[in-house]
Structure 1
Amino acid sequence: MKFAIVLLTATLVTVSQGFLATRQERKAFADALEDPKMRALLEDHMITSTKYEEKKTLRDLGVQNYNCPGLMGKSKTVPTNVNSVRPADINVVAALGDSLTAANGAGALDPIEVILQYRGLAFQIGGDKGLENHVTVPNVLKKYNPQVFGASTGIGTVNVWDVAKLDAGVPGAVSGDLYDQAVDLVAKMQTHQEIDVNNDWKLIGIFIGGNDMCAYCKDGATPAAHSAANFAANIGRAVAYLQQKLPRTIISITGMFQMQMLRQVDSNQMFCQALHLFECGCESDDAFTNQQMQAASQAYQAAQMQLQNNGTFESDTFTLVIQPFLRDVTQPPLTSDGKVDLDFFAPDCFHFSQLGHAVAAKGLWNNIVQPVGSKTTNYDLSNEAAALACPDPNCPFIRTTKNSANCAPYQTPGL
């Protein structure tokens, strides 16, 4: 156990280089891990984490026999309008984001393995296991179009093409990093012959904001670097670049979640509380109240929604849609006895486990096929049995602002 603690300490110091902003913060983190009390918490957490080893495999969630009769075929001819795109018309998937898009720790059995990026399990871009064993958006889309390209597989960093494919997410990223990710993504699309940039319909997922919120309460400058306005502007800059370079694209933004929910996850996990002092300073800052954190999260959500509603990113071949299934979720997933279901989270109590990614993927997919204005905003993270939705037979397309308001002008025959 002592050797394991030494190894884990070294690993956590290494991990900290990715999510701590300053040299002073990184030194403080390393010093904290030398503290005997922190070591004791770490050892206790590793002992309790043997539940993962005893299970040999982590819990996961798949969907058997998913079928939507009459709704799973392509359009009779390739759509020319973004509001007439069926799920089977999507040929390319991609994603931007942070460690939740890189799926850090999704397959981790202990805190050491949280450093690993299990990209193949990521809810909005992973392609591992197949839908029967693990829900992701690409795994659902493969039921409509088995040739859909771009899903990440396996474990590795953004620079390993055979793993990451079109998963451009980077651990530690904030909204200001999305532009560089967009540039990287476009370059990959333009240089890989599997992709016809001009003619393939593309679904690009974006999930960002956790790290912005983790720094929100520390802003001292005016205007604040992590304000809602700057947050939305950063996203908008990245999307504008994608709009310029990638025709036939649907941008699907998973809306910001309520960060104060994580405090309930920490409540009886002393090591996680200590680790989160460095993973997310604002979440651990008692001076930043739940009410303030909720207000900040809601301001981020409203700013994101303006990106959808202001029409800037609307054209016949490009659109942006917010998927708000986490918007009003204030309670973490619970077990049948009302306790926080830690199996939803990686061993650091912060990132999603593979189960967490699968549950989130269900919520995201269901939002994708729900009309704008009627999308679920309080998805039940505890309900693993929730149905995986089919497109609406009366509007069998990926839902956009325009086909949600009136689908009739966009009706086209399917195969």
Structure 2
Amino acid sequence: MGLKDLKPFKSPGFDGIHPEFLIHLGGYAKKWLAEFFTDILLTGQLPLEFKKAKEISVLKPGKPSNKSTFKFYQDNNPKHKSYLVREWLLYNCPKVLETPPQSPDLNPIGNMWSQMKIALQLRPPSSLTDLKRRLLQEWAALSHLSPVRRIDWKSMLLSGFGGVLLLIVSESCAQSSLASLRTYELVKEAAVNSFMPRSRDRHLHKLLQQEKRQSPVPAEKPFPCSTDNSRSQSRPTSVHQLRPGDIDVVGAIGDSLTAGNGIEALNMFQVFVENRGSAWSIGGDRTWRELLTLPNILKEFNPNLMGYSLGDSLSHHRSSQFNVADPAAMSQDTHFQARNLWKRMRGDSRIDFNNDWKLVTLMIGANDFCSNMCYVNSTELPEKHRFDLIKTLDFLRDNMPRTLVNVVAPPNLEVLMNFKGMPNSCYLMVGFECSCLFGLAYRQRRQEFIDLMRRWQQLEVDVINSDRYHEKEDFTVVFQPFTMNITFPTTDDITDYTYMSYDCFHLSQKTHALAANGLWNNMLQPVGSKSTNWPSLFSEFLCPSEKQPYIYTANNSDASP
């Protein structure tokens, strides 16, 4: 049946064998082919030649033949999104236009012929002349399709050989999609608002009583670092001569640990509230005395810092600013978030996009560890993350001038599995939020998962320590490893759960402050000499010095005193 369905006039592959030749094979050859493909299905192994493809570029008249100007566009057909295809595009196609999930078929001629075939089958033509006449009739009738399939064929642009077909779907469909998205946002907002405490001050006081917030620093105690000469007299042109005060804009990419879920939770429902204003890498509520975050540290060096998130906000809220993290995000979502961040920054009138120095912090992996690695081929997961990470960082490198990117290793969640004395209220929540590590069905694979998380961390080190992101003067990426070997205090062999949110999975504000302290220290430590654990709060708080006033990068670490 497969040979009968071949289209005889398709182009041959690398072997030069035309489909028409295969259609007319003899019985012995057909039997051999059947056994050959059956063996492939049973073993799951493809011959190497099957993984090759021809790239034939059909240029529009007058267009340059330089590959660097090409833009590749394809729909989300599963074979187009496979790991092998994406990896090939990463290294061979400079620009790939992204398509949304569940995108329609981007070949409108396919939709046309599909409708015409249906019409012809209802009343088959009686001769070749009748076929030509019917084809012309059905072509003219295409504008009368049902509203669901309606296509404005008058808006299709035909521009000669290799022309572009611009498909405009009915406006009602687009409006319906936008309405659905807005409805989802409104429902989520209503749900989150219902979980928020009525009295915020009383709520914060309870958190302080439960020792889940950092102890406020008295007003008479000064900031640990001198802020004199913390900003260069003129804007630096090199990212390797960037002082903390030179950073004008901050942004963040990540998951629920960056979105701030559960930082101020006193019950299981409040874990779903995104306390973005208190998040370790991007929150800007209050000051470092009450909430130690990276932006609150940087504001001491540059009071005009922009981009930090405020309050309890969702990712599409204005107060979220340049915190584009999504609680459910995985590695595959970072490129979308990077594009979203780029659009927000470019569209913000406060920002001189080409001249302001930007600091972006990226941490991803917890959801991949908890909700993905037990359902996919775990041996391939780190390599897929390599692809996602390179794609994301390449986009930032090519589109974000004057940017320093912190890539923070996701914690190895073995630390959660080693918790002692976990409250009963946590078991249900942790099993729900992290089924791969805490589900009974996967307990025998725990060591496999622990090793995978270590490989994930090491993979990030390898990607960032390559020369790929250290060749430009206005862009670099630095790996910050303070989360690689984190531990939590214990008392009488019982884990101190004041460092955790109500669900014992997300982090309390006190721990977000530790993370901010750890990230800040890493930024002021040379590459190759960075700490891999966080200190107790303020016990070690590094400062720029006259000899080394710059944030450390791979290129200036060798020149450190």
Amino acid at match of 2:320: A
- Alignment correspondent of 1:129: 286
Per the alignment, do residues 200 and 288 of structure 1 end up closer, same or farther by CA in structure 2, a change over 3 Å counting? farther
Aligned partner of 1:265 among 399, 419, 441? 419
- Alignment correspondent of 2:107: none
Q: For 1:16-35, what aligned pairs fall within 5 Å after superposition?
A: none
Cα deviation, residue 72, structure 1: 4.8
Distance 2:276 2:407 in 1: 18
Distance 2:379 2:469 in 1: 26
- Alignment correspondent of 2:509: 354
Q: Per the alignment, in what secondary structure is the counterpart of residue 383 of structure 2? A: helix
Aligned partner of 1:156 among 313, 322, 331? 313
Q: For 1:5-404, what aligned pairs fall within 5 Å after superposition?
A: 52=206, 55=209, 58-61=212-215, 64-69=221-226, 72-161=229-318, 163-221=319-377, 224=380, 227-265=381-419, 267-285=421-439, 287-314=443-470, 315-329=472-486, 331-335=487-491, 337-380=492-535, 383-404=536-557
TM-superposition CA deviations, 1:352-401 (whole Å, max 9, x none): 11111111111111111111111001334xx2342321024322111100
Which shows bigger deviation, 131-140 or 267-276?
Answer: 267-276
Cα deviation, residue 282, structure 1: 1.6
> Contact 1:97 / 1:208 at 8 angstroms: preserved in 2?
yes
Amino acid at match of 1:111: M
Cα deviation, residue 407, structure 1: 4.7
Which shows bigger deviation, 196-205 or 62-71?
Answer: 62-71
TM-superposition CA deviations, 1:174-207 (whole Å, max 9, x none): 0110111111111110111111110000100011
Distance 1:328 1:318 in 2: 28
Which shows bigger deviation, 231-240 or 69-78?
Answer: 69-78
Distance 2:314 2:287 in 1: 21
> Contact 2:363 / 2:408 at 8 angstroms: preserved in 1?
yes
> Contact 1:62 / 1:135 at 8 angstroms: preserved in 2?
no
Which shows bigger deviation, 341-350 or 55-64?
Answer: 55-64
TM-superposition CA deviations, 1:242-276 (whole Å, max 9, x none): 11111000000111212111123365323322222
Per the alignment, do residues 122 and 220 of structure 1 end up closer, same or farther by CA in structure 2, a change over 3 Å counting? closer
- Alignment correspondent of 1:11: none
Per the alignment, do residues 283 and 71 of structure 1 end up closer, same or farther by CA in structure 2, a change over 3 Å counting? farther
Gaps of 5+ in 1: 1-50, 409-415
Distance 2:321 2:533 in 1: 31
TM-superposition CA deviations, 1:273-311 (whole Å, max 9, x none): 222222011220453555333311210111101221111
> Contact 1:205 / 1:254 at 8 angstroms: preserved in 2?
yes
> Contact 1:71 / 1:391 at 8 angstroms: preserved in 2?
no
TM-score by length of 2: 0.59
Distance 2:538 2:208 in 1: 25
Amino acid at match of 1:378: N
TM-superposition CA deviations, 1:119-158 (whole Å, max 9, x none): 0000000001201111100000001000010010100100
Which structure carries more relative contact order (alpha carbon 8 Å, separation 6+)?
1
> Contact 2:256 / 2:326 at 8 angstroms: preserved in 1?
yes
Distance 1:390 1:290 in 2: 40
Distance 1:404 1:66 in 2: 26
> Contact 1:61 / 1:384 at 8 angstroms: preserved in 2?
no
Q: Per the alignment, in what secondary structure is the counterpart of residue 192 of structure 1? A: coil
Cα deviation, residue 318, structure 1: 0.4
> Contact 2:252 / 2:282 at 8 angstroms: preserved in 1?
yes
